[in-house]
Amino acid sequence: MNQNFSALAIKKAYLKASKLFHSSSNNFANHYDTLKLQRNCTSQQIRDSFIRLSKKIHPDLNKSPNAHTNFLKVQEAYNVLSKPHLRASYDLELAHPGYRYESGRQWRYGPVYRNPWSFYRNRKTYQEYKSDMPRPKSGFVAMCVVAAVAMAFTVEILVVRFMLLRQQEFAQKRTADIQKILNEVEERAKANGLEAQLEIYQKQYEEMERLRTTGN
């Protein structure tokens, strides 16, 4: 009688402890809640949410006393949900709280404390996660820089060449105008004689001076 009573008391105590232990695990926010996502979210949504939350709660940026703990939770959630096999195990555990995954791909029944940190494997820093973000390859960047420099150099050469051509055209035109004036002077000198031509120039000069004086 005493043995049966003891066994019954032990069984009740065990069931009560298991119930309390299991219910306490339900009070923890799951990884989807941590990342503020639905359970049918995509891998891209998981990644985007992790990056967004990391920038918001990273201890270097957020001075809240809970920032470090919250950031580790976000890291853990991302570490689990970003890996398909871990996410599948975690989803099955969420769907069937009485099951737990063990090595060898065996599933066993039993009251389990579902700790969101149980999937935590390798802690990564925020900088390491940032390094996973797609970045342009150094070779491509170098090619872009070389192409930009070459283009700027080509444009500069074209501008200098254009300026030289304009100056050359202007010099040629000025030379042609001067030569034309000299030719006219020579022709007039031959036609009128040197003295007559000088008199003409003298009159033109006097007329210009008169007009200038009158204008003043």
Q: How far apart are CA 55 and CA 62, in angstroms?
A: 9
Give the 3-state DSSP-derived string for the chain, with helices as H, strands as E and coil as C.
CHHHHHHHHHHHHHHHHHHHHHHHHHCCCCHHHHCCCCCCCCHHHHHHHHHHHHHHHCCCCCCCCCHHHHHHHHHHHHHHHCCHHHHHHHHHHHHCCCEEEECCCEEEECCCCCCHHHHCCCCCCHHHHHHHCCCCCHHHHHHHHHHHHHHHHHHHHHHHHHHHHHHHHHHHHHHHHHHHHHHHHHHHHHHHCHHHHHHHHHHHHHHHHHHHHHHC
100 shares its domain with 154: no
Task: Please tell me the predicted confidence (pLDDT) of residue 203.
Answer: 79
CA distance 172 to 68: 77
Indicate whether 178 and 114 sit together in one domain: no
Residues 69 and 18 both lie in one domain: yes
Q: Is residue 108 part of a domain?
A: yes
The pLDDT averaged over each successive group of 10 residues in the chain (216 residues) is 56 52 52 92 94 90 88 94 93 75 45 48 51 67 88 89 86 81 72 70 79 74
Work out the number of other CB atoms within 10 angstroms of the CB of residue 36: 13
Does residue 68 contact residue 57 with C-beta atoms inside 8 Å?
no
The CATH number given to whatever domain includes residue 81 is 1.10.287.110
Residue 137 lies in a domain: no
pLDDT of residue 77: 94
Max distance between CA atoms of the chain, in angstroms, equals 159
Predicted TM-score (pTM) of the model is 0.37
pLDDT at 76: 94
Which residue, 132, 157, 176, sits at the end of a domain? 132
Hey, what amino acid is at 104? G
Residue 71: inside a domain: yes
Q: Phi/psi class of residue 88: alpha, beta or left (left: φ > 0; alpha: ψ in -120 to 50)?
A: alpha
Of 81, 114, 132, the one marking the end of a domain is: 132
Angle of helix 138-192 versus helix 194-215 axis, rounded to 10: 110
Residues 81 and 152 occupy one common structural domain: no
Q: Is residue 3 part of a domain?
A: no
Q: Structural domain tally of the chain?
A: 2
- Is residue 35 domain-shared with residue 81, that is, in the same domain? yes
Nearest to 71 by CA among 24, 121, 129, 27: 129
Same domain, 115 and 166: no
Q: Which domain holds residue 117?
A: 9-132
Please tell me the predicted confidence (pLDDT) of residue 134.
Answer: 61
Helix 67-81, helix 84-95: angle, nearest 10: 100
Q: What is the predicted pLDDT for the residue at 75?
A: 93
